[in-house]
Amino acid sequence: MLLFLLLPLQSSILATNKPQITTKIQKENALRDNLKSNKRKSYAKDGKRLNILWWNVENLFDTVDDPLTRDSEFTPEGKKRWTEKKLLLKCMRLSYIVKVIALNNGRYPEILAFAEVENREVFDRLLSFLPDNTYKVAYHASEDHRGIDIALAYDAERIVLDQTVSYRVNLKGKKTRDITLYSFSAENAPFFLLVNHWPSRSLDKAWSEPARLLAARTARSVIDSIQNRSSNADIIVMGDFNDEPHDTSIKEVLNATTDKTAFSLEPTEKLFNCWGESDDKGSCYFRGRWLKFDQIMVSQGLFDETGLSMPENAFSCFRIRHMETGSKRRPYATYRGSKYLGGYSDHFPLLFQVEIR
């Protein structure tokens, strides 16, 4: 399986300016051949399946100061001492995980949705580390004060993007990430993807909760508008919500449940939260606690006989050992505070699979 191509990247890359160009080209060519072979086999075997990858990639910034946002800490002279070498390692690490998933599934995920990306250019740079990908980018730049967005790429050979609409979360003058609705179709089966990165728990949960409740009401209104037109629409809601499945914003405002029985009793009213099918502790670890801030929820449309459906074991919090650190095996982050660690991200990604009926 070409495991030699996927050895963990070491921070020692930062200590040298002499990459072994020939070896790198040989490895990339071998990986490209392997992915092409796996892709052909995968399409023949699982052509009716789509894989979606959600990941808060923890501050994927370029190294240039944008005077319109608060990104100066992510510059060579800034607090984080963010350099081109560190950015290179970050791109290599993130793309490495996407390649691992591709080798496991036979192809790249059909949709990538990455939170905490500074701009289209740095996202394009990350995608350039994925050989022979067929992604098109749908990038919406919101007015977040830090300048971070949700970047999305989709496989243009398998999916058609029909429409994109973004919704502002009105925080009375404070800027945060927009909520964006993507209308896709795959093999003439329409579906909706609603991506979110809600306001953080800065200072404490209670102080910041009203902002997330407002974001939740915004997202719920979008879902309601779709279901008012088609009650069986296939809707996937995903993101970093900075709240957990049991919190008010998720459980009551979005009306999402991890209990499949409860969902089946009121499918037109509720969303099913896919953490209900996972025994994993969470996607991120903070102050001694595992948290399920990253979530994927679906409407009743994914449980009927048409369009998209959820196969068995559709949801997973993806991790491999190299992404973990410490005795708790928490995410191997790029930074802890202002200390540079050189890891992947402070979140694990979520992988979701759907079938096209």
Q: What is the pLDDT of residue 145?
A: 85
pTM: 0.89
Q: What is the pLDDT of residue 35?
A: 61
- Amino acid (1-letter code) at residue 290: W
Q: For the chain, what are the domain ranges?
A: 46-356
What DSSP line would sit under 94-143, residue for residue?
HHHHHHHHHHHHSS--SEEEEEEE--HHHHHHHHTTSTT--EEEEE----
The structure tokens listed for 91 are 């791109």
The structure tokens listed for 139 are 């990038």
Per-residue pLDDT tens digits for 98-147:
999 999 999 999 999 999 999 999 999 999 999 999 999 999 998 888 88
**At 127, phi and psi to the nearest 5?**
-65, -25
**At 227, phi and psi to the nearest 5?**
-70, -25
* Contact predicate 193/236, CB 8 Å: yes
CATH number of 46-356: 3.60.10.10
Distance of CA 205 to the CA centre of its chain: 23
Pick from 154, 151, 13, 30: nearest CA to 84: 13
Cα–Cα distance for residue pair 63/320, rounded to 1 Å: 29
pLDDT in 10s for each residue of the chain, 357 residues = 333 345 444 444 444 444 444 555 555 556 666 665 555 455 445 669 999 999 999 999 999 999 888 899 999 999 999 999 999 999 999 999 999 999 999 999 999 999 999 999 999 999 999 999 999 999 999 888 888 999 999 999 999 999 999 999 988 878 899 999 999 999 999 999 999 999 998 767 777 899 999 999 999 999 999 999 999 999 999 999 999 999 999 999 999 999 999 999 999 989 999 999 999 999 999 999 999 999 999 999 999 989 999 999 999 999 999 999 999 999 999 999 999 999 999 999 999 999 999
Cα–Cα distance for residue pair 239/257, rounded to 1 Å: 16
The structure tokens listed for 174 are 């404070």
Cα–Cα distance for residue pair 297/276, rounded to 1 Å: 10
* Contact predicate 137/117, CB 8 Å: no
Pick from 332, 247, 334, 284: nearest CA to 54: 284
Distance of CA 255 to the CA centre of its chain: 22
Q: In the Cβ-directed half-sphere of 195, how many Cα atoms lie within 13 Å?
A: 28
* Contact predicate 278/316, CB 8 Å: yes
Q: In the Cβ-directed half-sphere of 234, how many Cα atoms lie within 13 Å?
A: 21
Name the DSSP class of 175: -
Cα–Cα distance for residue pair 108/35, rounded to 1 Å: 8
Pick from 64, 55, 54: nearest CA to 119: 64
Cα–Cα distance for residue pair 179/150, rounded to 1 Å: 9
* Contact predicate 158/168, CB 8 Å: no
Say whether 166 sits in a helix, a strand or coil. Answer: strand
